[in-house]
Amino acid sequence: MSSENNGKPRGESEQFLSRVTSAIKGKIYLAYSYQAEDTVALDMLVKSAAADTGVFTLDTGKLFPELAAYHMEVEKFFGLSIERLHPDSSEVIELEAGQGEFGMRDSIEARKHCCDIRKVRPLSRLLAGKSAWLTGLRAAQSVTRAGMRLLEYDEQFGLIKINPLVHWSEEDINEYIEKHGLPRNPLYEKGFRSIGCMPCTRPVREGEDIRAGRWWWEDPTQRECGCMVKQGQSKQQGQEPRQHSEKKHERNSATIKLG
């Protein structure tokens, strides 16, 4: 059984998360998208020294029906509430009038516009003025996530971003879930290995990459919803990072010097 990731013990990620959450002033939000990685990150956050935390999910209106019951199962298991973030209803009406049910597949621009309405804008509203957010991202998931760091400043949303699982493998995730008896998304039993909205997610075939079922009609280098823009590339992808003062950046950076 593997106990390391990129040469580092998995336990080091848990120790790191406890240290960094203790150092950050203000509320820390976990993005929960029903992935196995998110469940691991949630378990680690609950067990950390973080005093002020929140958990949210992006309810795009296009989620798989199985996730309703799984959402409640996760809340019951951890004894907490997961806040549902919804897109602006008027923007969704306008979007669907123009795109229809599957118009997001017509072009990268159409798909990213759909993601922007349903995901990026609600997320931006939640994170405005906040101190930090936590993800379950792993560098090995895709080429778009290579080069991520455990701790970084999110230029797009203007706050600290914590990626405690960045060096973990898929095997590490599965072993942690089994060891701690965490609830598992039922869609994994149906061949899914990365889970998003219904129109843009399919089961993965044997031999395919873990994220091959996400936006499968696109170039792999483009397969992100816009919430997880690689640092330093927000302008390259046509997204302006949220404005923030140098003083705020310096203050946030100071809170994460762990010695």
d(C-alpha 196, C-alpha 114), whole Å: 13
Alpha helices in 103-199 (DSSP H): 108-115, 121-127, 170-180
CA distance 56 to 105: 27
Helix axis angle for 36-46 and 170-180, nearest 10°, is 50
Of 114, 115, 197, 225, the active-site residue reads 225
225 catalytic? Reply is: yes
Maximum CA extent, the chain = 53
Active site residues: 225
